[in-house]
Structure 1
Amino acid sequence: MKRLFFALWPDQNTLSACTAICKQLADCGKPVATNNLHVTLLFLGNINAQQQTELTLGAAKLRNIPTKLVLDRLEFWQKPKVLCLAPGVFDPNFLHFHTELTRIADQSGVITDSRPYRPHATLAKKARYKPDLSLKPVIWQSNGFCLAESLSTPSGVEYKILERWHDIDA
């Protein structure tokens, strides 16, 4: 079984902006590795090969992929101890797309989190506090979405993109 999630991966400008902020967070938490920066669209959990095939086939049919977020708020989430960038407001298409991905997961027998969807990019883990930083909004731009795997390695968690989809209608 693989530990999977759907996500937006950043373009180079977004990656550079987020990496610069991550460096400023080193005193209050463990910055997320540059190659792990993403916005989760839907966490799936442990998935078997059949479910992965069904998820991949369903995701390939989706269009109108929301790929742009204005991340203008640094938030400290106490319980998971993370610092993340979040949008003050976001395009309702993100909720619609999340709902579509959830429908595909349900049809594949995958039980997903029922909490309300909140798009965000985690920048630091094991955070102890929210620093007082003056941030310029980050325009998160992606050229599609992907199915990624979370891998535990001796040096920590790494994320590997398994499939990518681009919105050909965009």
Structure 2
Amino acid sequence: METGKRRLFFGIGLESQAVELVSAWLLHSVNTSRPFTAPYNLHLTLAFYGMVTDDDAQALIEYATKLNVTPFSLSFEETAYWQHSGIFYLKPNSPPTALSALAEPLRDYGEKLNIYTNPYPFSPHITLCRGAKKQPEVVNPIMPLVIPVNRFYLYHSHRNENGLIYEPIKTFLLS
């Protein structure tokens, strides 16, 4: 890794109660040979950037501070699976327009800065496991989960002795 560069993305974190609910449900209701996403890493990605210089990170922070999106809620009760990447995930029911109003400008600004161009359209989800060669078996569906969204974070993705860590480095309140 080059000095002055970090792997960054914007995302919506889950409150501890939601993390506990999802983790317990996965443990008791989903069968797969792949490890589940670590509870402390559960989130919904808004905009991924990859390796970002300190200057570009500062520009992203300044831009995100100016966004004006009202708080909203996301409801989850359905899982899905992307076979090409082996990602098993929770997807929100009828995502509100406020979610796109938050994600799309962040994604577009990353492109404007020539940081990252995402090859896929925004598809909101919470990754539950990666690299699954076949779709995990859901024994019992998850109870409907409602996540209030009144903030989002800039995350630093890195590895330490515990493995992959998504560390919030800046918090942004919705207005």
| Length-normalised TM-score, structure 1 | 0.89
AA matched with 2:14:
P
RMSD: 1.8
Matched residue, 2:159: 152
What is the identity, as a one-letter code, of the residue corresponding to 1:50?
D
Q: How many residues align?
A: 168
Corresponding position: 1:60 with 2:65: yes
Aligned-partner residue type, residue 18 of structure 1 = V
CA shift, 1:154, in A, is: 4.3
Mapped to 1, the partners of 2:70 and 2:110 lie a distance apart of: 17
- Decide which moves more: 148-157 or 33-42: 148-157
One of 17, 20, 23 as aligned partner of 1:19: 23
Q: Percent of aligned positions with the same letter in both sequences? A: 23
**Is the alpha carbon distance of 1:65 and 1:50 closer, same or farther for their aligned partners in structure 2, counting shifts above 3 Å?**
farther
Q: How far, CA to CA, are the matches of 2:67 and 2:171 in structure 1? A: 12
Partner Cα distance (1:74, 1:28) in 2: 17
Query: Which residue in 2 is equivalent to 1:138?
Result: 145
Answer yes or no: is the 8 Å Cα contact 1:28–1:131 preserved in 2: no
**Equivalence map 1:93-132=2 (5 Å):** 93-127=98-132, 128-132=134-138
Q: Is 2:26 aligned against 1:10?
A: no
Q: Secondary structure at the match of 1:31?
A: coil
> Secondary structure of 2:168's partner?
strand
Q: Which residue of 2 aligns with 1:163?
A: 170
1:141 Cα offset (Å):
2.5
The equivalences for 1:19-98 within 5 A come to 19-24=23-28, 25=30, 27-98=32-103
- The Cα of 1:26 is off from its aligned counterpart by 5.5
- 1:114–1:125 Cα change, 3 Å: closer
